[in-house]
Amino acid sequence: MLFDSHCHLDFPVFDHDRDQLLEKCYQAGIHHICLPATERKHWNRLQTMLGEHPSGVHLWGALGLHPYFLKSHQDDHLAELDTMIASHPEHIVAIGETGLDFVIDDPDQPRQKELLAAQILIAAHHGLPLILHVRKAHDQVASLLRKLKFREGGIVHAWSGSDQQAEAFFQLGFKLGIGGNLTYDRAKRLHRQVVNFPLEHFVLETDAPDMPPAGLTNRRNTPLTLIAVLEKMSALREQNSLVIARQLSDNTKDIFRLSR
């Protein structure tokens, strides 16, 4: 049973075939999917989709403020996030996605750090892990987590850092999200990391509808491509795909505090 740890299945691009897609996911062995939020205006929409879908797929969620949409975030959104999490919403398993993105236009680094720090503290207060979006800012994120003494762990989504940065996140209790990027021949460093680091440090993801695997460039990504990512990891590690699938599913459940 596979677990897609990061998929934006609530996005409108899936409205016309979401139910059929989830049927196919269940048949393919993808029985759990986590939907991380990006903006306050989408939190309610996302939460209406969570729980066990008629297909049998269980949909989990995370609530947070994505750094890519920096200009849409307001200070009162943080207060709303804290209040909403305090009500113990069913099927919410993390805070995210949040993080730092220093690649976007006009990144306003101080504001990004302010929003991330606030969400780290909210996650710590409620005992929830984080789902992190990080681009060109791995050292800064790790430093902030250490400064705030965050102990709940989480997932660094769409991993793209160095070996040393990976080790820093392992020490902080985080796992690395591995998705479609793994399937590209050019991803040599990621290939090497997937082989050299213990399997306990990884989780699978798709980031659908974005980050399609090789062969699907410029097309909508779906949770079904989790199979291609698993097969690539199996080939690289020269390890049985069922063994990998079981371990990575357990890793994801452990991070989200779900029973195996």
pLDDT of residue 217: 83
Per-residue pLDDT of the chain (260 residues; tens, 9 = 90+): 899 999 999 999 999 999 999 999 999 999 999 999 999 999 999 999 999 999 999 999 999 999 999 999 999 999 999 999 999 999 999 999 999 999 999 999 999 999 999 999 999 999 999 999 999 999 999 999 999 999 999 999 999 999 999 999 999 999 999 999 999 999 999 999 999 999 999 999 999 999 999 988 889 999 999 999 999 999 999 999 999 999 999 999 999 999 98
pTM: 0.97
pLDDT of residue 218: 83
CB 155 within 8 A of CB 132: yes
106: exposed, middle or buried (Cβ count in 10 Å: 0-12, 13-18, 19+): exposed
**SS3 labels along 50-103:** CEECCCCCEEEEEECCCHHHHHHCCHHHHHHHHHHHHCCCCCEEEEEEEEEECC
pLDDT of residue 236: 98
pLDDT of residue 153: 98
pLDDT of residue 260: 84
Q: How far apart are CA 147 and CA 162, in angstroms?
A: 21
* Structural domains of the chain in order of their starting residue, each with its CATH number: 2-255 (3.20.20.140)
CB 203 within 8 A of CB 7: no
Q: How far apart are CA 99 and CA 115, in angstroms?
A: 8
pLDDT of residue 10: 97
pLDDT of residue 121: 98
